[in-house]
Amino acid sequence: MTYYRAPQNSTLYATAPRSTTDQPDEKFAYFPAFVKVQGKKVVVLGGGEVAAGKLRLLLRSHADITVIAPEVCDDVANMHNTGQITWERAPFVDTMINGAIMVFDATDNPHLTKRVEAATKRRNILLNVVDKTAHCDFIVPAILDRAPIMITISTGACAPALARMLRQRLETVFPATLSNIAKIARDARETVAAHLSDSLSRQRFWTRFFQNALRADNTGNVTPDDLAHELRTFVPQGSSATVPSGQSLQVTINADNAYDIPHGVAGNIETADIIFHDKNVAPDILALARRDATLISMSTSTSQPSGITYNQQTLGRQIQFFTQQGMNVLQLYRN
């Protein structure tokens, strides 16, 4: 038997068209994405303190960085002297940005910005003009650095100070040891893939590993040996065909928005594959589910188009079916 996984926030048995109020009331002007810069040319125009600030961030990446400026401040000069950047000691000409994937203009020179904007558009190169959003093809969000984990916050350039304040709050929520956990997982990806050939088994394994690793008393003590032990436990006798049964959980909440639900409940929603929910659960709470999770609206009084009415017997059979396939199932009710 097979099972169908619907897109995020759609249901298997929808009884009516989705209300437009379930969707965000404003589309974002900037598409959230991470750009691969490893081994790619990135240009920074200007050599002052503003440019130095952008360079400090860029130096956390593996980009090939070129600074174009007749003169530079001491910090930028030191970056050049230590071989971290290339310095073009000349006024800007269009051909200097050839081959670049993005350009930062930190000159605060409107006449130069106009020339740079024209040059980047002709070459289809992304441009960021510092503190001049109207001229930007992309903006830089507030960043919480737990490399290789990067948590970014953007307000679409309308409230940068708010983004910085939110980042500062998150600094107290996500421990620095997240970096260690992510590196352990990165180094073990091929090993886990070799032991667990199907995506469902890998998903189950990584969910269990991270749940254990992120316990409040454990984040600083996780080692590669812990991951190896989890893998041995997860796959008895090394059999890659073994898929553990999924779990079933029932939760009743007393909240109308995601902000007010307990952290543990939010975690259950985020890790569930199948969510059976009653109609009173708020849309932004359901939005905590993964994009590939299936959300199923339950009804005990109205028959679904499929002919299914969700009494306890029917619900129990479906939950058993999904958990036998190794899926985590959550029943979510509003008190």
Q: What is the pLDDT of residues 68-124, one digit of tens each?
A: 999 999 999 999 999 999 999 999 999 999 999 999 999 999 999 999 999 999 999
Q: Which of the four pLDDT bands, split at 50, 70 and 90, describes residue 309?
A: low
Lowest mean pLDDT segment, chosen from 50-64, 180-194, 237-251: 237-251
Question: Mean pLDDT of all residues in the chain?
Answer: 84
Residue 317 structure tokens: 């059979």
Question: Quick one: 325 exposed, middle or buried, by C-beta within 10 A (0-12, 13-18, 19+)?
Answer: middle
Average pLDDT over residues 146-163: 90
C-alpha count within 13 angstroms, C-beta hemisphere, residue 271: 21
Q: Is 299 helix (H, G, I), strand (E, B) or coil?
A: coil
Average pLDDT over residues 212-237: 79
Q: Which of the four pLDDT bands, split at 50, 70 and 90, describes residue 152?
A: very high
Residue 318 pLDDT greater than 60, yes or no: yes
Lowest mean pLDDT segment, chosen from 9-23, 152-166, 195-209, 319-333: 9-23
Give the predicted TM-score (pTM) of the model: 0.68
Is 49:75 a contact under the CB 8 Å cutoff?
yes
Residue 54 structure tokens: 């952008």
Average pLDDT over residues 126-134: 95
Query: Bigger pLDDT: 303 or 126?
Result: 126
Nearest in space to 90 (alpha carbons), one of 128, 47, 123 = 47
pLDDT reported for residue 207: 83
Is 18:39 a contact under the CB 8 Å cutoff?
no
Question: Which of 29-33, 97-101, 318-322 has the largest mean confidence?
Answer: 97-101
Residue 296 structure tokens: 């199923």
Question: Quick one: 52 exposed, middle or buried, by C-beta within 10 A (0-12, 13-18, 19+)?
Answer: buried
Does an H or E element contain 331, and which?
A: strand 329-334
